[in-house]
Structure 1
Amino acid sequence: MTQATSEQDLDGPVDPTAPPRTRGRRRGPRGTAIAVAAFALAAASVGTAAVLLPGDGDSGAESGRALPPATAEVLRQTLKDTKNVDAQLGYGTAQSMTGRLPGTLTLLPKSGAEITRGKALYALDNQPVVLLYGSLPAYRALAKGAEGLDVKQLEENLRALGYTGFTPDEEYTDATAKAVERWQGSLGLRKTGTVELGRIVFAPDAVRVAGLEAEPGQQTGPGQKVLSYTGTAKAVTAELDIADQRLAKQGTPVDVSLPDGVVVQGTISEVATASKPAEGQKKAETKIKAVVALADAKAREAVRAYDQAGVHVVFTADTRNDVLTVPVSALLALAEGGFGVEVVEGSTSRYVAVTTGLFAEGRVEVSGSGIAQGAKVGIPK
């Protein structure tokens, strides 16, 4: 925002030795206010702009010019870069579950059903496809001699379901195979000691069926969608414009306002980019999708009465505590470079250089030796 302006364009005391033409063209920074306001608004959308004027930037008191048409007080306050966004209370982002085995769908759960460890997600040819807990998706058949994290996940689940006689580790031993045979027998499966690919589905925790993508009696096969699911914990999903990406950072706390006016705290647990294709007259667009977890007991209790509901989320990108602020419109681009404000003192005023910080809520954080709480700054037209 530095202006390439000749010395005669600078405001301040007039050099009595300068030619009359120079004095006649004196311009104060007030004429640059519109450009500064535009810059400030742009800066507010991306965060902080730090600008430092060389020297003390104080042009001294001047009584020979008109004062600004309005003034505002320099405040000391907490400044927050926030945005209130419409959101949806539900169970978070749904994922599709695809089959890995061929067969006829003979059993499907109801939408909204919660399925826990060891229970059937659905059945193919009257044989269950079972949910187990684990972070690594099932990607291969498991049999004697196999090694890896998926083996350990299987063994941990077998132990949690009451099957013993082995040590949960990353090795699929004879003892593991015998435990698998006992587990298969309890499900009515053939006792092979081998877990075929597609017989189990690993998920981090219990799941809630969000919707069905197939029907009983339908033939299915590897790669075909069967159902969609979410976690069982209540969560809030919000969409943000790409320009507001700074607001959505995983682990950041947010405030959630419920339909009854109660405000609870949540934490951003997931951030993803979602593209929406063009539809009719609407152009394609990209959004930031943020999932907010309601982890504490107070929040969980507050949302218990709601299944699906519209809520509001207040995202906070940055906070400055106990700082001096002025309206963004008070900033002036000084010809020497950098920003300043016009401090009004009675019937006189002077320009003071400032360093800017956070832009938010129509105000900007400022600091400098010539600016103090309670001072009046000019607001140009």
Structure 2
Amino acid sequence: MTTSPKSRRRVLVSVSAVAAVSLGVGVAAGSRIASPEDAAAKTAPPKASQITVPVEKKALASKVVGRGDASFDGAVNIRVETSGLHTPAVVTGKVPAVGSTITEGKALLEITGRPVIGLAGVLPMYRSLSPGSKGPDVLQLEQTLDRLGLDPGTVDDEYDTDTSQAVERLYEKAGYDAPEPDEQLSQAVDNAKKQVDAAKNQLRQAKSQLKAAKDAKAKDTSVQQGAVDDAEENLADAQEAENEAEFKAGTPLPVSEIVYVKTLPRRVDDVKVERGGTVNGVVMSASGAALVVTVKVDAETAARLKAGMAASLDLGDDGTTVAAKVRRITKNGDTYDVVVAPNALTASQLALLRDANVRVTIPVKSTAGKVLAVPVAALSSGSDGASRIEVLRNGQVELVPVKVGLSADGFVQVTPSGDAKLSEGDQVVVGK
């Protein structure tokens, strides 16, 4: 069969078109086919780059920050020893109000019409004292009287006439009559005075008889002289007995009229008695007149603190703070109580702090001005255990040995070691 030229041209055009389409499809398909290596290269994460921050020049300050409850310092229970009373221990007056202040040398209560005077001291009042008493409780009394300016004479452990007179002045200053000695002691003084008067009369008579014998020009007056000598000796003995009786009858200090508290003044927190009631044990509880804030910390934190450190108390959202000091640190079970006392308070600040929970800041250490500092995360250790940091310079990481100083708020003070160089603004590596 013979094909015309025109038909052959149509066949060639069709074949060329099919070939062209096939080539395009092949190229497109080929562009979507990749080797495993190419696929891995395209899906791999980018190469890690260093995360850097600049070296800073700043002042660092380490501090302890916590919250604590405000309260009046050192609550104690106050007891009155009433065993020396011969009548029921009835409260007759001076019942204090909660919130009032107990002042040294003043009556904090009245029992059976007599004052109970508060004094500062460690030993409790465990017995009545009187002239002739000796012991550490006498020493404490005289130290207290001396501190109050009441002149007890020589401060020792003996209750003497000077002590009695100082006790009288104590009561006078408190606004009360001094205690009376026991009736038997007063009677002993009266009897001693009578003996002195009798001895004086005897001496006068003996002297009169001796004079009469001499006036009569008696040759022997030895009997009359002996009577005078005996009368003089009897008078001396009577006067010594009178002095002793008067000494013993000096002003006493009843056990029921003094209460010792470790420190004064104090604030009355609670009153256990009322007027007309009978004292039985604790009469009131009182705490220190000074307001303090107690913060609980762990043993590691407590080891960084000590009494006398400066502190500050945050009084509210307005940023008002009050300067304070650490008063003491005491162990309390598994934790420690850090007691912080404000240096001074206004009436309004006292009102804000009373029974409040406040933020306390205690600076522990600080640098002397600005120092080179980097984030703690920038530090690493070499094989020798020395500290170092990585500094990025001109695209290269350089290890810089450093000495480490104070650490605070996530930063640490660093000083380049040896010939190493480090400046503010240098980029240090903190991660990758």
Give the TM-score band, short-chain normalised.
0.5 to 0.7
Q: Is the 8 A contact 2:63 2:363 kept in 1?
A: yes
Asked if 1:180 is matched to 2:167, the reply is: yes
| Correspondence 1:1-381 to 2 at 5 A | 69-102=50-83, 104=89, 106=91, 108-125=95-112, 127-132=114-119, 134-138=120-124, 140-141=126-127, 142-145=129-132, 146=134, 149-156=139-146, 159=149, 166-167=152-153, 169-170=155-156, 172-181=159-168, 183=170, 187=176, 190-192=179-181, 193-197=251-255, 199-212=258-271, 217=277, 219-221=279-281, 225-259=282-316, 260-275=318-333, 286-296=334-344, 299-300=345-346, 303-306=349-352, 307-321=354-368, 322-369=370-417, 370=420, 371-381=422-432
Q: Is the 8 A contact 1:131 1:200 kept in 2?
A: yes
Q: Is the 8 A contact 1:127 1:188 kept in 2?
A: no
**Bigger relative contact order (CA 8 A; separation at least 6):** 1
| Cα 1:365–1:95 shift into 2, 3 Å | farther
Q: TM-score, normalised by structure 2?
A: 0.60
Q: Is the 8 A contact 1:92 1:237 kept in 2?
A: no
- Matched residues in 2 for 1:251 and 1:269: separation? 6
- Matched residues in 2 for 1:137 and 1:362: separation? 51
Name 1:34's counterpart in structure 2: none
Across the two proteins, how many residue pairs are aligned to each other?
Answer: 296
Deviates more, 1:371-380 or 1:123-132: 123-132
- Matched residues in 2 for 1:130 and 1:69: separation? 76
Task: State percent identity of aligned pairs.
Answer: 25
CA deviation vs aligned residue, 1:216-260 (integer Å, no higher than 9, x gap): 735524xxx443222223333322232310343111111111125
- Matched residues in 1 for 2:165 and 2:101: separation? 30
CA deviation vs aligned residue, 1:47-82 (integer Å, no higher than 9, x gap): xxxxxxxxxxxxxxxxxxx87531122222221111
Q: 5+ unaligned residues in a row in structure 2: which ranges?
A: 1-46, 182-250
Name 1:15's counterpart in structure 2: none
CA deviation vs aligned residue, 1:265-313 (integer Å, no higher than 9, x gap): 11112222223xxxxxxxxxx33222222224xx446624433323211
Residue 220 of structure 1 aligns to a residue whose secondary structure is: coil
Q: TM-score, normalised by structure 1?
A: 0.67
Residue 265 of structure 1 aligns to a residue whose secondary structure is: strand
Q: Is the 8 A contact 1:68 1:379 kept in 2?
A: no
- Matched residues in 1 for 2:400 and 2:272: separation? 66
| Cα 1:354–1:143 shift into 2, 3 Å | farther
Deviation at 1:84, TM superposition (A): 2.0
Name 1:18's counterpart in structure 2: none
- Matched residues in 1 for 2:159 and 2:62: separation? 53
Q: 1:220 is aligned with what amino acid?
A: N
| Cα 1:214–1:190 shift into 2, 3 Å | same
Name 1:26's counterpart in structure 2: none
Residue 398 of structure 2 aligns to a residue whose secondary structure is: strand
Q: Is the 8 A contact 1:356 1:366 kept in 2?
A: yes
Deviation at 1:351, TM superposition (A): 1.2
- Matched residues in 2 for 1:333 and 1:246: separation? 27
Greater gyration radius? 2
Name 2:40's counterpart in structure 1: none
| Cα 1:302–1:290 shift into 2, 3 Å | farther
Greater helix share, structure number: 2
Greater strand share, structure number: 1
Q: 1:311 is aligned with what amino acid?
A: V
